[in-house]
Chains A and B, each alone.
Chain A
Amino acid sequence: MSASTAETSTVGTAGPGTAKASRPRRRGLRPDGPWPWIFVLPTVLGVAVFYLWPILKTFYLSFTTVGVFGGSTFTGLANYLTMFSDPQIPQSILNTAIYTVIVMLGIPIAVGLASLIERPGMRFRGLYRTLYFIPYVTMPAAVGIVWRLIFNGDFGPINWFLSLFGIAGPYWLATPGFALVAVSIVGLWMSLGFNLIIISAGLREIPADLYEAAQVDGASRFRQFRSITVPLLTPSIFFVSIITVVNGFQLFDLLYVMLGKSNLAMPQTQSLVYIFYNEAFLQNNQGYASAIGILILVIIAALTAVQFRLQRKWVNYV
């Protein structure tokens, strides 16, 4: 959508000029009457009740503490002060960062695979795209169960495979460190197909005559890849990395399903969103959880802003 949204939204911003020109004409025509309000009212009400009001209330809740017998009292910045001294928080930010970095390894893999799929004269493109995209549509709760078995320490196929090389595999999902790596591998597996589709589309944007010119100049295939493909692909890579970071900070489903609530490795593996869920709905600390929610918002906003700043340094727009 990135590309096409950008296109349509430029149509949108170009709109006012043309709309202004045609306004007198439209005035002469039959006006819309009550229809605009009938059309937007359900959405406006629904969004106000279920999204806008809750957002404002979360800000309020983050300054309150839920009492033992229910009911909340205003406690000012207490939740935020607790958050800054809570060792779970930096640990979970680090976990999320590690998860995101491992999932990001999928981007260069996707660039490599996409450039193979998009080679001239390549057949079975649809088949390959489907094969790689299937994990993206699987239900995390369902496929997490399968991966739990695959990473099983006693009879999982991964440890069997490692044993062929004389390596004694760990109890992946019960060992801090390994548990995070296992979850990250599944995250990479699920997102690879999406990255591949976006990057494939980016590859098809590159004009073929650039390669022909390079060939005439005697550039090797590798040189063409490095000097034409990669630079012209940077907008797609940028888009995919934004999505990877935003989704990385939403890590929850796979953690919940692959490790489970009572897993002893959870404290060393959990994400910010998992702590949010735990505090809000298992520990009943809704005030503290709200403060964590706001921290998640701030982190995602900050990272996105930094990425947009950095893009000037490495993203080429033609």
Chain B
Amino acid sequence: MSENVSTAAVLGQNAAELQREARRPRRHRTQSNAGAHTVLLIGGLIMVSPLIYQVIMSLSTNQQVESAPPTIWPGVLQWHNYLDVFAQMPFGQELWITAAITAVRLVGQLLLCSIAGYAFARMRFTARGVILGVILSIIMVPAQIYLIPQYQIIQGLGWLNTVIGIAAPGVFSAFGTFLMRQFFLGLPQELEDAARIDGASSFMIFWRIMLPLASNGLWALGIITVLWSWNDLMWPLVVTSSAGSAPLSVGLANLQGVHGNNYPVLMAASLMAMLPILILFIVLQKRVVAGIGRSGLK
């Protein structure tokens, strides 16, 4: 949960950052920044070097990986390692499961957190404050406090080793509800009042006016949900026991030593598992920024 909070922090700050960047007057360059660029570039290369190493090793032979001075460049690129992944582990099946649980949680959270968040922000009903307080307290609690009974519930429902069982608890999110509530609180009340005077129903106000305005919140929530759901390890590890029913994270974590040590295939599998998220991150970074710029909301 705390990772969700921290990712939200990054997304939220991206918003503020953009506006500030626009406002900031261009200062004259008083000194050369060459030294700074050198340090940042070397540091940045160190940060991505494990991934570069991974790409090179995924295209090598196992002998090259296991050679004592590391092979800098494999010479003949072993592209077949990527195909071998599908022969050596149920990668396709695991990819499908990862995508399915991510999709179920994404759709579920976007829908449920936005309606509940809106109600908590703008509607009046009995015990609103108390219910919100309970939901808030759940955000603060570490996952170990509810993991065992969650497992027992999924087991009792007969949902172990199923997509719905892995996805189920994560469809509901105290954090997501709170995040959306905060976004709706920041929207102008006047729009709502105007629509109400025009005779719009509560549902129409939410669906036609407020939800489109909260698109930045939905983007932020969506990105956090996808990131967390795709990378999640412990929960799927707990509720899956057969090889064909687990997502990629579990499949990769339990792969060690099973097929001897075919390092190039391992590197290829690991890279393919991360790639959708890496691509999504680079693409969505722009989407989030554009969404914030379009609505111009704080």
Contacts and interface: CB of A to CB of B under 8 A. Distances in A.
Contacts of B7: 194
A150 B53 contact: yes
Nearest to A33: B202
B153 A54 contact: yes
Interface string A224-265: 000000000000000100010011011011001100100000
Interface in B183-230: 183, 185-186, 189, 193, 196-197, 199, 201-203, 206, 227, 230
Given A39-B119, A116-B39, A296 B10 contact: no
B148 A289 contact: yes
A52 B134 contact: yes
Contacts, number: 334
Contacts of B33: 119, 121-123
B142 A297 contact: yes
A173 to B, nearest CB: 11
Contact of A40 (B20, B40, B119, B274): B119
B5 interface: yes
Interface residues of B, number: 121
B185 A12 contact: yes
A131 B50 CA distance: 12
Contact of B135 (A38, A47, A160, A292): A47
A54 B6 contact: no
B43 interface: yes
B17 interface: yes
Contacts of B134: 47, 52
Interface in B121-178: 123-125, 128, 131, 134-135, 138, 140-153, 168-169, 171-172, 174, 177
A40 B45 CA distance: 47
Interface residues of A, number: 110
Contacts of A5: 12, 182
A1 B274 contact: no
Contacts of A247: 2-3, 6
A281 interface: yes
B138 A51 contact: yes
Interface in B10-34: 10-13, 15-17, 20-21, 24, 26-30, 33
B148 A286 contact: yes
Interface in B41-60: 43-45, 47-48, 50-51, 53-54, 57
Contacts of B199: 30
Interface stretch (A73-81, A90-98, A140-148): A140-148
B295 interface: no
The secondary-structure label for the interface of chain A is helix
Contact of B47 (A43, A135, A198, A257): A135
Instruction: List 10 tightest A-B contacts by C-beta distance, closest first.
Output: A46-B172, A54-B149, A131-B44, A54-B146, A121-B29, A293-B144, A43-B116, A39-B119, A36-B125, A1-B12
Interface of B: 2-3, 5-13, 15-17, 20-21, 24, 26-30, 33, 36-37, 39-40, 43-45, 47-48, 50-51, 53-54, 57, 65-70, 112-113, 115-116, 118-120, 123-125, 128, 131, 134-135, 138, 140-153, 168-169, 171-172, 174, 177, 179, 182-183, 185-186, 189, 193, 196-197, 199, 201-203, 206, 227, 230-231, 233-234, 237-238, 248-250, 252-253, 255-257, 263, 266-267, 269-271, 273-274, 277-278, 281-282, 285, 298
Given A128-B44, A138-B277, A198-B13, 13 more contacts: A22-B189, A25-B193, A30-B196, A40-B119, A47-B135, A52-B138, A113-B40, A134-B278, A145-B256, A157-B53, A201-B17, A280-B151, A297-B141
